[in-house]
């Protein structure tokens, strides 16, 4: 018998039936289980990738930091990387890579000290072979950009094995009571002294120019003798300063006034330097242009190298000239006959150049000698002896250099100093005038330049 399908609607349950409440309970249970399952899944996902900031997971923070960096928002990117580093789930390797990225970002915005710190932190988090050469390069660059050349030297010693890592720069070179001064301390003192010497010029230089000048000045302190001399001078200054404090010199009225005057001078100079730094910039193009416009000022005069034999008698000098002209060796005669102890051992050779129009080294003033030197030919002995306050000189011309145009590289420093001085005067005059106006300064020139009363107008004159 065929079974028919029933498409009719069911009748409503009679009042008091249990079907309705049971259905409600079942529905509530389903909702609760669904919510619990969702919570569990979410919790597990978050445990795998914990949030590092509101609404961002670790991977999202990494993506955001990269995007900000690509948009040249380096400081903002560094801040997001810092949030990323808060994730406790990071491996040491990932932490090292992130710290390296932060270091790069700080380097790009010129915060070199913080950059170096993060490069160090990266190395400590995990020494990665892929990052090691990059860290070396960037740390070197950061120290150079900061102008910390002494610190860079010890850093390179540590990294290249030229000195023990734990002791580079820690050799004690002096002691003041219990206080120890190390190699690194001495280098820092020298570097600070050089920076103070450069301070009046740095406002006019680019960062590269200042660094180059600083390196040149620091190179003068590379020899043990120069370092020792500097150290002795600094220690003498330090012990005198400490004794002055012990004797309460700063409390004496005249010393207080002196310190006030020095402070006024230092502060006014510093303010002026800051103004100059803000308003003056000298580029390589400026230097080249100034040099081309003033080439005639940079002509090297003719110069010569000579040797001489000093004798106490004109007759003896003429005799020596004759012997040289007869073929005897000038240098050998100088060694045996010259009365100048400073040159006889070198065959009479005078090291310093004779420059046209200037004082003749070693020999001094000798009428007509300069003209004779520049009229002679190299290798020639002048046919007449010349008298100075030291005696009679037999002179041989060894080398002659004609006047010539100096190259830009040769006179670059002179060009810079000249151009700096011109610009400095302009800016300084304008700024001082502005400050005079601001503070209402009036100079009564007539009162200062007024001549004394004549005797006719003097009181009591009848």
Rounded Cα gap, residues 38 and 35, in angstroms: 5
pLDDT tops 90 at residue 408: yes
At the topology level of CATH, where does 299-405 sit? Chitinase A; domain 3 (3.10.50)
Which residues fall within 8 angstroms of residue 227, CB to CB, at 6 or more apart?
Answer: 186, 190, 221
pLDDT tops 80 at residue 205: no
Which residues fall within 8 angstroms of residue 218, CB to CB, at 6 or more apart?
Answer: 149, 150, 190, 191, 194
Where exactly are the structural domains of the chain? 53-146, 185-285, 286-292+409-438, 299-405
Query: If DSSP codes are grouped into helix, strand and coil, which group holds residue 305?
Result: strand
Instruction: Catalogue the E-assigned strands of 137-269.
Output: 172-176, 179-182
Rounded Cα gap, residues 182 and 175, in angstroms: 9
Q: Stretch 6-32: mean pLDDT, rounded?
A: 42
- In this predicted structure, what is the pLDDT of residue 130? 86
Q: Which of 48-52, 160-164, 235-239, 330-334 has the highest mean pLDDT?
A: 330-334
Which residues fall within 8 angstroms of residue 168, CB to CB, at 6 or more apart?
Answer: 154, 157, 158, 184
> Bigger pLDDT: 27 or 415?
415
Q: Which helix (H) or strand (E) holds 38?
A: helix 19-48
373-387, 408-422, 440-454: which has the minimum mean pLDDT? 440-454
Q: How many helices (H) and strands (E) does the chain have?
A: 17, 10
- In this predicted structure, what is the pLDDT of residue 453? 58
CA angle 312/318/323 to nearest 5° reads 115
Q: Stretch 31-60: mean pLDDT, rounded?
A: 52
pLDDT digits (tens, 9 = 90+) for 125-173: 988 888 888 888 888 888 877 777 666 666 776 676 644 444 556 788 8
At the topology level of CATH, where does 53-146 sit? 1.25.40
> Bigger pLDDT: 434 or 215?
434
- In this predicted structure, what is the pLDDT of residue 55? 61
Q: What's the chain's average pLDDT? A: 81
Label residue 204 by pLDDT band (50, 70, 90).
low
Rounded Cα gap, residues 460 and 92, in angstroms: 99
- In this predicted structure, what is the pLDDT of residue 216? 84
- In this predicted structure, what is the pLDDT of residue 167? 53
pLDDT tops 60 at residue 200: yes
Backbone angles phi, psi at 3, to 5 degrees: -90, 130
> Bigger pLDDT: 224 or 141?
224
pTM over 0.85: no
């Amino acid at each position: 018998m065929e079974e028919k399908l029933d498409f009719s609607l069911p009748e409503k349950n009679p009042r008091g039936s249990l079907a309705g409440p049971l259905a409600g309970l079942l529905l509530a249970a389903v909702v609760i289980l669904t919510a619990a399952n969702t919570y569990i899944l979410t919790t597990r996902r978050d445990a795998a990738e914990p949030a590092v900031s509101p609404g961002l997971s670790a991977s999202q923070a990494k993506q955001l930091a990269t995007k900000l960096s690509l948009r040249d928002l380096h400081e903002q990117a560094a801040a997001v990387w810092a949030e990323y580093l808060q994730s406790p789930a990071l491996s040491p390797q990932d932490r090292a890579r992130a710290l390296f990225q932060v270091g790069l970002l700080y380097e790009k915005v010129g915060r070199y000290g913080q950059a170096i710190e993060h490069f160090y932190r990266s190395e400590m988090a995990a020494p990665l072979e892929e990052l090691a050469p990059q860290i070396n390069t960037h740390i070197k660059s950061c120290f150079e950009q900061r102008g910390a050349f002494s610190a860079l030297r010890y850093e390179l010693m540590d990294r290249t094995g030229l000195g023990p890592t734990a002791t580079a720069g820690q050799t004690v070179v002096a002691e003041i009571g219990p206080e120890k001064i190390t190699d690194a301390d001495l280098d820092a003192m020298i570097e600070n002294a050089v920076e103070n010497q450069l301070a009046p010029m740095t406002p006019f230089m680019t960062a590269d120019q200042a660094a180059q000048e600083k390196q040149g000045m620091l190179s003068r302190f590379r020899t043990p003798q120069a370092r020792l001399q500097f150290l002795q001078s600094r220690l003498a200054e330090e012990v005198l300063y400490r004794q002055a404090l012990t004797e309460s010199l700063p409390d004496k009225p005249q010393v207080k006034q002196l310190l006030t005057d020095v402070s006024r001078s230092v502060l006014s100079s510093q303010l002026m330097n800051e103004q100059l730094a803000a308003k003056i910039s000298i580029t390589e193009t400026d230097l080249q242009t100034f040099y081309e416009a003033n080439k005639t000022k940079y002509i090297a005069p003719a110069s010569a190298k000579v040797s001489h034999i000093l004798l106490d008698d004109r007759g003896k000098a003429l005799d020596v000239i004759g012997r040289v002209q007869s073929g005897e060796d000038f240098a050998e005669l100088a060694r045996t006959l010259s009365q100048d102890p400073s040159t006889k051992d070198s065959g009479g050779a005078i090291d310093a150049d004779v420059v046209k129009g200037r004082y003749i080294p070693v020999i001094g003033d000798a009428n007509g000698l300069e003209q004779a030197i520049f009229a002679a030919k190299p290798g020639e002995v002048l046919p007449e002896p010349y008298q100075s306050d030291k005696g009679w000189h037999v002179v041989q011309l060894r080398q002659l250099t004609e006047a010539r145009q100096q190259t830009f590289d040769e006179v670059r420093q002179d060009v810079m100093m000249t151009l700096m001085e011109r610009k400095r005067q302009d800016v300084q005059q304008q700024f001082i005038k502005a400050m005079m106006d601001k503070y209402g300064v009036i100079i009564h020139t007539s009162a200062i330049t007024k001549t004394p009363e004549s005797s006719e107008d003097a009181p009591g004159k009848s």
